[in-house]
A and B are shown apart, each in its own frame.
Chain A
Amino acid sequence: MEFFNSADLLHALPLIFLMSWATILLLVAAFARAASERIMPALAAAGLLLTGYFAARQFGNPASAFNGMFAADGFSAFITLLLVLSGLLAIALSSDYLKRMSLNRPEYYVLMLFSITGMMLMASAADLIVVFLALELLSIPLYVLAAFAQPEPRSEEAGLKYFLLGAFASGFLLFGIALVYGATATTSLTGIFIAAQSGLEQPLYLLIGAALILVGLAFKVAAVPFHMWTPDVYEGSPTSVTAFMAAGAKIGGFAALIRIFIVALPSISEQIVPVLWALTALTLIGGNLLAIAQNNVKRMLAYSSISHAGFLLMALVVYGQDAARFDVVASALFYLLAFIITSSGSWGVVIALEKQAGKGLEFSDYAGLGRTQPVLALAMAVFMLSFTGVPPTLGFAGKFYLFRAVLEGEYVGLAILGMLASLISAYYYLRLIVVMYMQTGNPKIHSERWLNLTTVGAAIGVVVLFFASEPLFDLAALALLHVN
């Protein structure tokens, strides 16, 4: 048996390229320190762009590589493109922020790229072992990034907390993998599917294993009740890291969830869907209710990100239904896209207002922004409306497709719950608009070129892409899972 051939390398090209690029950048950072501080963002962005180019070429010819452990299909290509986008946005948000906060160390970008490779691998993993590897590759750089503002105690706390709880979650995942292996004698996703079809001696092990895998990944996507780390980590981390984490970690986690459940576990959907249903309901209600109580914008956005994980989980609930499966993947991917753009933009506004030592993050610090900074405030208002799902924004299109998938799966109760969650969320999103436009104050902002460009660009994108949601959704619909 040969371990791999040259075709395999070609299929994994985006991943291999980015990994090598990140390694080279690490060397650059080590040997050309002074220069790298300046050029590192550009180099990292160039690497991501090339990765995106390689990934875009993979659309339409699905393949499996490395003895079926690695899948290169439309799904992984689309996820890679999403990751490239969120990575680019994160770099644009980071470059000036890091200088301002005197955190400008070139390793930052290297860690980010490594984490992105982990996320990409999550989307391509066709074997549970690879899922685990990908998860660790995704997480470990994020732990470091969360603590990047050391010796700031809150950032250190965030890193440590994230690391400890993340390690705990990895344990769950591994234990789940072990149980699934025990039940099916394989870790390959397709193998698990076939084994489950042909009858198991211990079907209970598969079920428990699947539930534990769900717990491990639910931790990564911050679903209630596995969300406890999120607000503290999001608040303590440097804001640019938070922006990246909110988008990237979510993409990675959901990519793995979608592939594992749809490819390997359709046979136990009857038992696992109630669990998913409950998880979704808790996440939707919990995330939104907790967000209402926040007075810190960073924490509010953290809880809001939890609630959006709930919306994404809604799509997963439908996974067991053959008829709706196509729309499940497409609508979840589209929702992710809408979320990434909206979320990155809103973090951009937060970064623009943030001051040293965690100041400038309260709701009251946003008072009067509508008058003093009309453009920035308008952008933030657009993001909040998009989060709420008010037309004409990308967030509305995302919810529209998502709810459609849920209704197609005939989960009317879940759809109503999701609508209620949107309604609750409107309260705290609107509250920020109220503060910005209807209270008086004189907030100072940092006007930085890339930051402004990202925020305004994202706001325009949120509105304009709504009217062009058709090609985007078509692209997401191309992102079919390849089942070999």
Chain B
Amino acid sequence: MDFLLQPLNLVIFFPLLGVLALLFLKERESLARWVSLITALITFGISLWVLGLFDAANPDLQLTVVRDWIQVAGWNIRYAVGVDGLSILLVLLTTFLTPIAILSTWRAVEDRVRDFQLFFLLLEVGMLGVFLAQELFLFYIFWEFTLVPMYFLIGIWGGPKRMYAAIKFFLYTMAGSILMLLAILWLGINQGSFYLPDLIAIGGIPADIQYWLFIAFAAAFAIKVPMWPLHSWLPDAHVQAPTAGSVILAGVLLKMGTYGFLRFNLQLFPQTSVQLAPVMGVLAVIGIIYGAIVSYPQSDVKKLVAYSSISHLGFVVLGLFALNQQGISGAILQMVNHGISTGALFLIVGFIYERRHTREMDEFGGLWKVMPVYAVLTLIVALSSMGLPGLNGFVGEFTILLGAWGGGVANGPYGSYLFAGLAAVGVILAAVYMLFMFQKLFLGPVTNKKNEGLKDLSARELAILIPLLVLIFWIGLYPQPFFALIGPAVAKLTASFSGIAYLPIP
């Protein structure tokens, strides 16, 4: 009992209580929504309590729980969770977005309500586990486990091509993670531990092997992010997923990939991280430009938002592999920003889809006249997504660009004007496709008669969007509290790169 009452265990496993309660409900019962929402809200509350216990000045893992779990044949597999500046915001993002996503299913999910909520809460357990696990075996279990509920969410409640999308999502992600599993096994055999702090302390992996291990881990994470050219599962999964699924998929699941880079690749393989930083930078920049260019001609709004995610997460990867304070801090903040902005965009698309059952841009036009509140809120979110100063996206992207430029840290060849310059082009392109979309949907006369009678946002829909808007402004105007949470841990991480000389790739 004492074990379960540890703050971090409580936050990970509390949603299971909701799952348990749901099991006793009948199918189709609308009470299921309330059970699920309340569970998610309490989980959010617990995560705020964790935040209260969290000491921002301490760069190390905190609130750790380490227990022996499986001892077989000389292996000690532990249960180990902990939180530090690298993960605290992502934990909060997860617990924050989950109740919002659940609230958005009130009208959207009418079929098998109980099962939907059940999978949703299971998904939350998996995601929180991923962000908090400090032990590779445990991490892998949570990582793979998130696949299962998401697979069902897409496959059962998704759009017309849901089965294809669900299987594609599963197979793509699994392809990456099995390589990671091999690398994890290698570490367990040769380094004698799965516990991350131990592994970091032991270090000393030969450079040529580090290189392969880095690639094996990166395969799993790059597919999840997704980085160009491993992104092709993403549009299918997003377009077919139900709105709440998309929100969590874009808001949290993709962050598991970038977080994986941050937590494992950078910390376990510092030498290779330095060497491959330019390669990752190139892939990130290609992703930024590619995602933006492909977003532009999409006629399906949801697809547009999906492709824009590729572009935004390119920024995050670029920031991470700048390997300096600004780059990594910006990347972490941008993970949160993207979760908020893109989550909001998917919700917005969901609202109009619930009304019209289409997402084709040509069906709309002049919505501002019909739904003014909706239009204004969409505009704010769109501006935030394209990085307008004063809103959250700007802070993250600007810090990342600073990092990519290499400003402030004399760290050899990581900083590159070229990367920063090309990435900045991505910002301009983001403005192009976002404004283009906004214009098509909202401006001009009402061209389609079907749109004339549309109702503006309901109180529930406002309640969903307003918390997100508050954060959009908060981070945009006063990001200091967020950076304060991230800073010390990032400083500790970047210090580990300072002694490493850049060598050509073996």
Contacts and interface: CB of A to CB of B under 8 A. Distances in A.
B505 interface: no
A303 interface: no
Given A403-B181, A407-B185, A391 B141 contact: yes
Interface in B127-180: 140-141, 144-145, 147-148, 151-152, 155-156, 162-163, 166-167, 170-171, 174-175, 178-179
Nearest to B137: A400
B7 interface: no
A404 B171 contact: no
A385 interface: yes
B234 to A, nearest CB: 18
A404 B174 contact: no
B178 A423 contact: yes
Given A407-B189, A434-B155, A470-B71, A423 B182 contact: no
B70 interface: yes
Given A327-B73, A438-B156, A477-B73, A419 B182 contact: yes
A370 B166 CA distance: 16
Nearest to A439: B163
B503 interface: no
Interface stretch (A14-22, A154-162, A191-199, A425-433): A425-433
B186 interface: yes
A426 B174 contact: yes
A419 B178 contact: yes
Nearest to A472: B72
A296 interface: no
A288 B413 CA distance: 46
B147 A401 contact: no
A169 to B, nearest CB: 33
Contacts of B72: 401, 469-470, 473-474, 477
Q: Which of B155, B163, B178 has the most CB of A within 10 A?
A: B178
A427 B163 contact: no
A437 B147 contact: no
B171 A426 contact: yes
Given A423-B178, A438-B156, A477-B73, A403 B185 contact: yes
A437 B152 contact: yes
A326 B73 contact: yes
Contacts of B181: 400, 403, 419
Nearest to A391: B141
A408 B189 contact: yes
A437 B70 contact: no
Contacts of B192: none
A415 interface: yes
B80 to A, nearest CB: 16
A477 B71 CA distance: 12
B197 interface: no
B479 interface: no
A282 interface: no
Contacts of A441: none
Interface string B339-376: 00000000000000000000000000000000000000
Contacts of B70: 469-470, 473
B178 A434 contact: no
A43 B322 CA distance: 71
A404 B185 contact: yes
A257 B182 CA distance: 26
A427 B155 CA distance: 14
Contact of B73 (A371, A385, A427, A473): A473
Contacts of B182: 403, 407, 412, 415-416, 419
A385 B148 CA distance: 9
Contact of B156 (A385, A430, A437): A437
B166 A419 contact: no
Interface in B14-28: none
A422 interface: yes
A458 B141 CA distance: 21
A393 to B, nearest CB: 10
Contacts of A433: 151, 155
Nearest to A431: B167
A423 B166 contact: no
Contacts of B145: 390-392
A404 B188 contact: yes
A370 B152 CA distance: 11
Interface string B59-87: 00000000001111101000000000000
Nearest first, the 3 closest Cβ-Cβ pairs linking A and B are A419-B178, A391-B141, A470-B70
Interface of B: 69-73, 75, 112, 140-141, 144-145, 147-148, 151-152, 155-156, 162-163, 166-167, 170-171, 174-175, 178-179, 181-182, 185-186, 188-189
Given A419-B178, A426-B171, 13 more contacts: A385-B148, A391-B140, A403-B181, A404-B188, A404-B189, A407-B189, A415-B185, A416-B179, A419-B182, A423-B174, A430-B166, A430-B170, A477-B73
7 contacts: A390-B148, A407-B182, A416-B179, A438-B156, A438-B162, A473-B70, A473-B73
